[in-house]
Chains A and B, each alone.
Chain A
Amino acid sequence: MSEQVALTGNEVMSQAMRQINPDVVAAYPITPQTAIVQTFSQFVNDGDVDTEFVPTESEHSAMSATVGASASGARAMTATAANGLALMWEVLYIASGTRLPIVMPVVNRALSGPINIHCDHSDAMGARDSGWIQLYAENAQEAYDNAIQAVKISENKDVMLPTMVNMDGFIISHAVENLNLLADEDVQDFVGEYHAENPLLDSENPVTVGPLDLQDFYFEHKMQQAVAAENVKDVVLEVAEEYEELSGREYGLFEEYKLDDAEVAVVALGSTTGTAKTAVDNLRENGVKAGLSKIRLYRPFPAEEIAEALADLEAVAVMDRAETFSTTGGPVFADVRAALYDMGADVEAVNYIYGLGGRDLKVEEIESVYKDLEEIVETNTVEDRVQHLGVRE
């Protein structure tokens, strides 16, 4: 049983949290995330959930309290954005390094400075190497579906890693969409009860979480974490299959949109992929063999699968909503290009950094990217490997 509703991304994320019914939520307000936790706190007040809700004095404390709860054996969640995520930084590594299956919606927003409250991916991209799984969504429906699946992915015994459920600030978080909510009991059955293997509160089997781990075992523990990351892809696919049976909605590591016979394609993640689909449709009408690869699982990165999907293209443009200031392009570009290199694929890959600080990206601008790709194919030359799209000069 599902129900069609019209909700903002933040509202539907709080609905997902209500249905997951975590034992503990600890959080601190930050735009554009605030509404998720605020709505959720009303559910706590109304007795709709069994959650212990902890308003903290900072995001560092919010993530720390979530870590404490999770280590104690509770199913624990928080949510944040931008500088809130940045303030959590050192605790992010505690969560992943101590193998705590925390699920955290991140409402993507530009990192200061200068101060900006609008969407880009500099927050989550900065945390891409923190050992957290990262899922990205095109719209509120996907953000909701990802949040529910994330619980099951994180808590899988072969994984036991935390997950960031990313959703574009304002574009998804504040816009109202028609979408389908699953029935509460279906979500409850899907995520099941969480039973921690070695909880702090098991007095019969006392454990210590996070003690000093030097040259003797630190490396082995990091290796175990790397093995867990290797396991993520399979688990994401298993969980997606199960979720499809429940919801009828199909998920994978990434989505291929008209990619089968495409000659030129764009790789992107987040809400821009919706705009890109319109660009692809427009170009297809004009005979351009355009396609799109929409990344859902960005960490760990499904390199082989993505390279395989792109291998038959003539040229590909990778879209990054974050600057790395490496001068060699954005983070997604680096990953995609490395994957293509490993594959030995003869595909020209270029990079467009776009949408920083909430700068809107229009359909025509994405179409211009495809036109650039056609030119690259035609002339067999790349003039600018890395470009900034939609910026005034």
Chain B
Amino acid sequence: MVDKAMYEGNRETAWCPGCGNFPLRQVLVDALADLDLKPSQVAMFTGIGQAPKMPHYMKVNGFNGLHGRALPPALGMRVANKDMKVIVETGDGNAYGEGGNHLLHNIRRNPDLAHFVHDNQIYGLTKGQASPTTGEEIETAVQPNGITAQPLNPIKLAVSMEASFVARGFVGNRDHLKMLMQEALKHRGYALIDILQPCVSFNKVNTYQWYAKRVYEIGEEYDPTNYDAAMKKAEEWGDDIPLGIIYKNEDKAIFHDKLPQVDDKPLVEKESTPQDKEYLLKEFK
């Protein structure tokens, strides 16, 4: 068993008291440690936002890059070293707004990554503008008349593209969220968890209470490998919000499967023997 203290950072956070990022971080540490993963075996990729500050506040290998661009460098890392557990930690803005295009193509490639989206339905870092998941009824400082665009349903989007693992969690249901994270970390392929969490400072509508009243955990009778059922489940939002693995397809090829040259060991451990490739030149002679 890995000691959880190994993951604990020693920096004061810039998160507000009561921020959903605190329980999320705790659950993440629990999930990693209980899977017997050491911080040195984990690489975390983030963009810009409150969620992407995560590698500042816990001890893992961290890469903090550009807003919306956490997925591409994570994919690069994954290709270079398949032995690391690669986590992408973003907010709803990073994942579904500025990084939306990367999300689409990442689902297509299906690399072996776990993507945890801290979905608080608002831009917290820049102090309360609408994100792609902000509800239409919400007024923000930049949208004082409410949101004119329809909110994105990330679960439906991912399921419709047959992403290989699609789940929704809530920071208020910690044991359940931990289970989801562990399943995502164990999953072979791209695992997306949309994690509902309140922004106590800038989202006055989607509070702990708002979520707690609506969320329910999907029962065991639900079959996440059934695409049609998953599409139907993905549409649920409003008075009842399902939590759990909405869709899973373990048979889907992962990005590595299509790259035979990097399938056996990390690039750094491979010997470079260009002299063995001389036969390739023969056909040009």
Residue A72 interfacial (CB < 8 Å): no
Chain B positions within 8 Å of A188 at CB level: none
Cβ A57 vs Cβ B98 within 8 A:
yes
Cβ B97 vs Cβ A29 within 8 A:
no
Cβ B129 vs Cβ A42 within 8 A:
no
CA distance A115 to B49 in the complex (A): 11
Known contacts A57-B98, A57-B132; is-contact A29 B68 (Cβ 8 Å)? no
Residue B7 interfacial (CB < 8 Å): no
Closest to B53 in A: A115
The count of residues in chain A whose C-beta lies closer than 8 Å to any C-beta of chain B is: 17
Cβ A34 vs Cβ B126 within 8 A:
yes
Q: Select which of B48, B68, B97 is within 8 A of A115 by beta carbon.
A: B48
Chain B positions within 8 Å of A282 at CB level: none
Least CB distance, A177 to chain B, in whole angstroms: 22
| Chain B residues packing against A (C-beta within 8 Å) | 48, 64-68, 97-98, 100, 123, 125-127, 129-130, 132, 141-145
Cβ B142 vs Cβ A41 within 8 A:
yes
Least CB distance, B70 to chain A, in whole angstroms: 13
Known contacts A83-B66, A83-B67, A115-B64; is-contact A58 B144 (Cβ 8 Å)? no
Least CB distance, B48 to chain A, in whole angstroms: 7
Cβ B144 vs Cβ A45 within 8 A:
yes
Chain A positions within 8 Å of B145 at CB level: 45
Closest to A37 in B: B142
Q: Select which of B64, B68, B125, B141 is within 8 A of A38 by beta carbon.
A: B141
Closest to B97 in A: A57
Residue A31 interfacial (CB < 8 Å): yes
Closest to B149 in A: A55
19 pairs, A vs B, C-beta closer than 8 Å: A29-B126, A29-B129, A30-B126, A31-B125, A31-B126, A34-B127, A38-B129, A38-B141, A38-B142, A41-B144, A45-B144, A55-B129, A55-B130, A57-B132, A58-B98, A83-B48, A113-B65, A115-B48, A115-B64
Chain B positions within 8 Å of A113 at CB level: 65
Chain A positions within 8 Å of B64 at CB level: 115
Q: Select which of B97, B126, B129, B141 is within 8 A of A58 by beta carbon.
A: B97
Residue A112 interfacial (CB < 8 Å): yes
Chain B positions within 8 Å of A55 at CB level: 129-130, 142-143
CA distance A83 to B68 in the complex (A): 11
Chain B positions within 8 Å of A37 at CB level: 142
B-contact 0/1 string along A78-121, CB 8 Å cutoff: 00000100000000000000000000000000001101000000
CA distance A28 to B125 in the complex (A): 13
Q: A29-B142, A55-B130 are in contact. List 15 more A-B contacts (CB 8 A).
A: A29-B126, A29-B129, A30-B126, A31-B125, A38-B129, A38-B141, A38-B142, A41-B141, A42-B144, A55-B143, A57-B98, A57-B100, A58-B98, A83-B48, A112-B65
Chain A positions within 8 Å of B65 at CB level: 112-113
Residues in A28-85 with C-beta less than 8 Å from chain B: 28-31, 34, 37-38, 41-42, 45, 55, 57-58, 83
CA distance A58 to B93 in the complex (A): 10
Chain B positions within 8 Å of A112 at CB level: 65-66
CA distance A37 to B129 in the complex (A): 11
CA distance A58 to B96 in the complex (A): 11
Least CB distance, B199 to chain A, in whole angstroms: 14
Chain A positions within 8 Å of B66 at CB level: 83, 112
Closest to B96 in A: A57
Q: Select which of A28, A30, A41 is within 8 A of B143 by beta carbon.
A: A41
Least CB distance, B121 to chain A, in whole angstroms: 15
Cβ B67 vs Cβ A29 within 8 A:
no
CA distance A115 to B66 in the complex (A): 8
CA distance A159 to B269 in the complex (A): 59
Chain A positions within 8 Å of B97 at CB level: 57-58
Chain B positions within 8 Å of A30 at CB level: 126
Ordered nearest first, which 10 A-B pairs have the shortest CB separation? Answer: A45-B144, A29-B126, A58-B98, A41-B142, A57-B97, A34-B126, A38-B141, A29-B129, A38-B142, A45-B145
Closest to A33 in B: B126
Closest to B48 in A: A115
Closest to B127 in A: A34
Closest to A60 in B: B98
CA distance A30 to B145 in the complex (A): 21
CA distance A41 to B100 in the complex (A): 25
CA distance A22 to B124 in the complex (A): 28
Closest to B64 in A: A115
Least CB distance, A107 to chain B, in whole angstroms: 13
Least CB distance, B147 to chain A, in whole angstroms: 9
Least CB distance, B234 to chain A, in whole angstroms: 21
CA distance A29 to B127 in the complex (A): 9
Closest to B99 in A: A58
Chain A positions within 8 Å of B130 at CB level: 55
CA distance A135 to B255 in the complex (A): 48
Least CB distance, A253 to chain B, in whole angstroms: 35
Q: Select which of B100, B123, B132 is within 8 A of A29 by beta carbon.
A: B123
Closest to B52 in A: A115
Closest to A40 in B: B142
Least CB distance, A17 to chain B, in whole angstroms: 14
CA distance A37 to B100 in the complex (A): 23
Closest to A31 in B: B126
CA distance A34 to B126 in the complex (A): 7
Residues in A182-229 with C-beta less than 8 Å from chain B: none
Least CB distance, A111 to chain B, in whole angstroms: 10
Least CB distance, B66 to chain A, in whole angstroms: 6
Closest to A61 in B: B98
CA distance A42 to B123 in the complex (A): 18
Chain B positions within 8 Å of A34 at CB level: 126-127, 129
CA distance A58 to B129 in the complex (A): 13
Least CB distance, B51 to chain A, in whole angstroms: 14
